[in-house]
Amino acid sequence: MSTLEIRGLKVSVETEQGAIEILKGVDLTIKSGETHAIMGPNGSGKSTLAYSIAGHPKYTITGGTVTLDGADVLEMTVDERAKAGLFLAMQYPVEVPGVSVSNFLRTAATALRGEAPKLREWVGEVKAAMETLKMDPSFAQRNVNEGFSGGEKKRHEIMQLELLKPKFAILDETDSGLDVDALRVVSEGVVRAKEANNHGILLITHYTRILKYIKPDFVHVFANGRIVEEGGPELADKLEANGYAEYVSA
Amino acid sequence: MTTLQSNILEKHTPSGREEAWRFTPLKRLGGMHDGTATPVLRNSLMAKGELPAGVSLTRTTITAVTETDDAIVNRIREFTDQGTILEIASNTEVASPIFLGRATGALDTAEFARVLIKVGTHTKATVIIENTGDTHLAEDLEIAVGPGSNLTLISLQEWGAQTVHAGRHHAIVDRDATFKSIVVTVGGNLVRLLPTVDFIAPGASCDLSGVYFATAGQFFEHRMFVDHKVPNAKSRVNYKGALAGDKAHTVWIGDVFIRAAAEGTDTYELNRNLLLSDGARADSVPNLEIETGEIVGAGHASTTGRFDDEQLFYLMSRGINMEDARRLVVRGFFNEIVSEIGIDEIQNRIMTRIDNELAKAGK
Ligand SMILES: Nc1ncnc2c1ncn2[C@@H]1O[C@H](COP(=O)(O)OP(=O)(O)OP(=O)(O)O)[C@@H](O)[C@H]1O
Ligand SMILES: [Mg+2]
């Protein structure tokens, strides 16, 4: 059983006009096996939260703590956070020219497992992950995210989730840009990974449709850089019906 | 030596103010440009292994195919009319690459080398020149590609740290012929190469690709000139370079000239540089001169940038440490061109060399 604990997290970004505060004190605790959904208006800071936990250099932590089983995540380099068990499926996955998916995945798996996976087993693992996400085997030879459609990039992220087996997965709008069939395929991938690894999930989304597949235990409303309400799955339905007006004007 | 010749040479001794020489540190050329070097005829270019059928390598008298105003080439031609001719017969498809190499050299003299690669008509071949060791080399290489032929020339500069290499690789490309050049420069103190192309009949095309990686103190210059003087020829130039370490300096010049007669020209040139540390300098000068509007296309692009933080973050967020992430990104950057060599053994060797240069620079 693992715990990811975020306490009073404050984050700012540097702009030409100086630093602006985006996260204004976020508190959130996620345990293994739990699924937490975060919903909130555009620009409220959801991706900032995700990136800050993963250690993106653009964000400056100005207050608060993030710990994983007591270990100080904010002190870790980006790769150390991944090694500690954090995984971020990005809203906009990055293209890495000239680096093949297969080389990338094997390098990542080697880094996370501490040794190179045995070639024969690894090929099987990758093939199985690609099949379940309905990705054509030719993707293995393509360059990381280069020329991938929006939906293909998201499948590729979840394929990594299946292969890299983290303790906590942060999914930043993994459902955005997916057609109805892809949404099902990708969601099933997430559920399958969770059944296999019992990881905790922080799922950022604008829509309840993904929550039909990935059932949240908790729903948090995010507005203006902090969590403004928490509840069970029924809160998501209320948000879909009423929008965020009452939180934004507050 | 006639007085006239001497006068010409004197006239052609670069001062450093000429456009063609303004970037080159002349003092480091070992006197190859101004007559102070001790030239020797070494004919160091050798075939590695058996030559395939239809291919011959001969030491003989050479007549230059074209004139040039390059000072060093003129000094070579004045010094000797002896050189090496690699001849590839007409109507031959040479299945495996022809391996040539230079490995014997010296630093107290300068090898003045003349080479002619003569490709017949309707012939297809790949020639690989592997340059290793330490030497001073002034190189006059002409490549005549006959009608309908397809030649790939791969020149690998995997020199040791003390080498000075100034060369002109001049291709004369005939009707419907294709010349593809891949230049790899990853070693040497100073390397100055002039991959130049002369289209002499319509339907000719060339593809000049190259990679270079300069670390502390190294100077690598690649200066293309593509002369579109006939209609319907096509040229592509794509060079990628990385620099790391104090006073690493690279120069890329892409001169493309589309003359009035060259209707239907299609040309595009690209140079991208990756600056991996402070104190390094990449000069990149695309230069397109157009005398006719009746062309298919003409364009160029040049970029010089640093590591993309987003790429490094993405890789590291998957557990890959900074050093490995940088290595992946640099390999990825060069892969587009290195993979065109098409021979795993060489590609792996070049990539490993690049890894080592990067690791050295990181220290
Ligand atoms: N460099 C920057 N300069 C100015 N503002 C910035 C900068 N980077 C981020 N921001 C702002 O931070 C805020 C939070 O952005 P973030 O991407 O976290 O929002 P989000 O909740 O994920 O939105 P969305 O639902 O659209 O994905 C936005 O208002 C954004 O414009
Ligand atoms: Mg976002």
Mean pLDDT estimate for chain B: 95
> Does position A246 have pLDDT exceeding 90, yes or no?
no
With 70 as the cut, is the pLDDT of residue A123 above it? Answer: yes
- pLDDT band for position A240 (cuts 50, 70, 90): confident
Which one is predicted more confidently, A244 or B226?
A: B226
pLDDT tens digit sequence for B247-271: 999 999 999 999 999 999 999 999 9
CA of A45 to the centre of ligand 1 (A): 6
Nearest CA to ligand 1 atom 4: A15
Please state, rounded to an integer, the average pLDDT across all residues of chain A.
95
For the segment B146-187, what is each residue's pLDDT rounded down to a tens digit?
999 999 999 999 999 999 999 999 999 999 999 999 999 999
- Please list every residue in chain B whose beta carbon sits closer than 8 Å to the beta carbon of residue A54: 313, 317
A9, A17, A38, A44: which to mutate for ligand 1, most atoms within 8 A of CB?
Answer: A44
Give the residue from A90, A56, A108 showing the smallest Cα distance to B324: A108
Q: Is the CB of A19 under 6 A from ligand 1?
A: no
Distance CA B228, CA B257 (A): 6
Q: pTM surpassing 0.90?
A: yes
Confidence at residue B1, expressed as pLDDT on a 0 to 100 scale: 38
**pLDDT exceeds 90 at position A212:** yes
Produce one character per residue of B336-363: b if its CB has 16 or more CB atoms within 10 Å, e if not. Answer: bbbebbeeeebbebbbebbeebbeebee
Inter-chain contact B332–A99, Cβ cutoff 8 Å? yes
Query: How much is the pLDDT for B7?
Result: 58
pLDDT average, residue stretch A115-135: 93
Q: So what's the pLDDT on residue B28? A: 97
Give the mean pLDDT of A106-111. Answer: 97
In the prediction, which pLDDT does B2 show? 42
Query: Is any atom of ligand 1 closer than 6 Å to the C-beta of A226?
Result: no
Task: Give me the torsion for CA of B29, B33, B37, B41, rounded to 10°.
Answer: 110
For chain B, what percent of residues have pLDDT higher than 90?
Answer: 94
When mean pLDDT is compared across A44-48, A132-136, B9-13, B152-156, the lowest value belongs to B9-13
**Chain B touched by A108 (CB under 8 Å):** yes
Judged by CB atoms closer than 8 Å, whether chains meet at B319 and A90 is answered as no
In angstroms, the CA A21 to CA A12 distance is: 4
- pLDDT score for B12: 74
Q: Tell me the percentage of chain A whose pLDDT exceeds 70.
A: 99
Provide the 10 A C-beta neighbour count for residue B179: 27
Size of interface A-B (CB pairs under 8 A): 82
Nearest to B316 among A79, A87, A95 (CB): A79
Average pLDDT over residues A11-24: 96
pLDDT for B134: 97
Residue B10: the pLDDT is 60
Any idea what DSSP says for residue A70?
T
Is some CB atom of chain B closer than 8 A to the CB atom of A14? no
Say whether pLDDT at B277 is over 70: yes
Residue A202 vs residues A216, A218, A229, B332: alpha-carbon distances, Å: 9, 10, 16, 32
How does pLDDT run across B93-117, given as a tens digit for each residue?
A: 999 999 999 988 999 999 999 999 9
- In this predicted model, what pLDDT tens digit does every residue of A29-52 receive, in sequence order? 999 999 999 999 999 999 999 999
A98/B336 touch (CB, cutoff 8 Å), yes or no? yes
Task: Tell me: pLDDT of B8 over 80.
Answer: no
Rounded-to-integer distance, Cα B37 and Cα B15, Å? 16
Q: For residue A98, give the nearest of B313, B321, B333 by CB distance.
A: B333
**CA of A193, closest CA in chain B: separation in Å?**
16
Q: Which residues of A are less than 8 Å from B315 in CB distance?
A: 96, 104, 107-108
